[in-house]
Amino acid sequence: MNTISFARGVPAAELLAVEQLADCAKTAIERDGASVLLYGHTLGYQPLREWIGERHGVDPGRVVVTNGSLQAFHFVLSAFAGAGRVIVERPTYDRPRSILSGFDEVPVDDDGLELDELERLLDSVEPPAFLYTIPTFQNPTGVTLSEERRRDLAELAKIRSLRILEDDPYGLVRFEGDVLPTLFELEGGRNVMYSSSFSKTIAPGLRVGYVILPEAIAAGLEDVVASTYITPALVTQATVLEFLRRGLLEPNLERVRALLRARRDAMLEALERELGGRAGWSRPEGGYFLWLELPDGIDATELLGRATEAGVTFVPGPDFGGEPGSARLAFSFASPAEIDEGVSRLAGLVPAAATVELG
């Protein structure tokens, strides 16, 4: 029996534009080898910085292109070392939780970050280094910050001079509902820093992520970045740029969205059929993940042990700072048929009598 993975927050191989990327890499090296095969600008391949700057309406000097956006998170941290603690969402992406030596948390509900709780926290702690938030199709919950809250949070950033790092790797992977403005757009990019990546829109193995910072902070990072890896991998950055310049991003996104929508639908249908009325789950309009709240008394970490034996895996909520009875299910990797089977296997391990207290 093959194990079905709801654990891996990765795209399936069939989502990859392999032939197109192979050709883009070839062209990028052939045409620009003299620059992309040597050391280049520490803050990234200049023409890609320019493309990203234009897309977001900012000077390219504010754009730092890195070997994946997690590396950008480290650089932002180094820029604000000693500037206070970081505030994160609860639950949130597990990597920042493990990277940060200490942090404060603000809970997330179905409309995203709870702003009342954020304000209460801000009133009670020293000024934070920044707030780290994933407002759109959040990892791990799949939840999206509502438009009203976005406007309020952008306003709050201005009024309180609250720095925010808006992490937005999934924003373009929306397959339903209206596109919402980013915090970066609403606030104008003074207090809001914006990070994203091409991992979910093109391919993660290219390791091309970026962050948009105030210009002085970006320039101030040059030493840190140079002392970390001299220059990021320019060949892959040039490959991404070639893909973008050929206009391949939008058709690729359409394909990715259609595939992910089918997978999300398969997961929602299977959950309804197998656990309807007994468990709760988020209904993301994009991204890779949904959040499962197991029936009362069921511990996700304990369940994972039995689930693995039964041939299905997921990540328990506590890994993200979530409740013991919660879990992250990724619908990005398994096929719709596998998702259907995987949810059946999982539900088979949840006693029929168990129900969740739905709030």
Smallest distance from the beta carbon of 355 to a second copy, in angstroms?
A: 37
For the CB of residue 85, give the shortest distance to a second copy in the complex, in Å.
18
Strand arrangement, sheet containing 326-330:
280-281, 289-293, 326-330, 315-316
Q: What does the block give as tokens for 235?
A: 């060949």
CB of 335 to a second copy, least distance (A): 14
Identity of the residue, 11 or 171, whose beta carbon is nearer to a second copy in the bound complex:
11
First to last CA, the chain: 37
- Smallest distance from a second copy to CB 304, Å: 19
Whether 107 contacts 248, CB under 8 Å: no
User: Cβ of residue 26: shortest distance to a second copy, in angstroms?
Assistant: 4
Q: Assess whether the previous peptide bond of 91 is cis (omega < 30° from 0).
A: yes
Closer of 228 and 301 to a second copy (Cβ)? 228
Q: Can you give the binding site for a second copy, defined by CB under 8 A?
A: 10-11, 13, 16, 18-19, 21-23, 25-27, 29-30, 33-40, 67-68, 70-71, 74, 95, 98-99, 203-207, 223, 226-236, 239
For 8-44, give one letter per residue: b (16+ CB within 10 A) or e: ebbbeeebbbeebbebbbebbbeebeeebeeebbbbb
Dist. CA 329–CA 291, nearest whole Å:
6
CB atoms within 10 A of CB 336: 17
For strands 4-5 and 86-90, give the pairing: unpaired
Nearer to a second copy, 27 or 355 (CB): 27
Shortest Cβ 77–a second copy spacing (Å)? 12
Strand 289-293 with 326-330, pairing: antiparallel
Q: Which is closer to a second copy, CB of 166 or CB of 242?
A: 242
Which one, 37 or 125, has the nearer CB to a second copy?
37
Rg over CA atoms, the chain: 21
- For residues 204 and 318, which CB has a smaller minimum distance to a second copy in the complex? 204
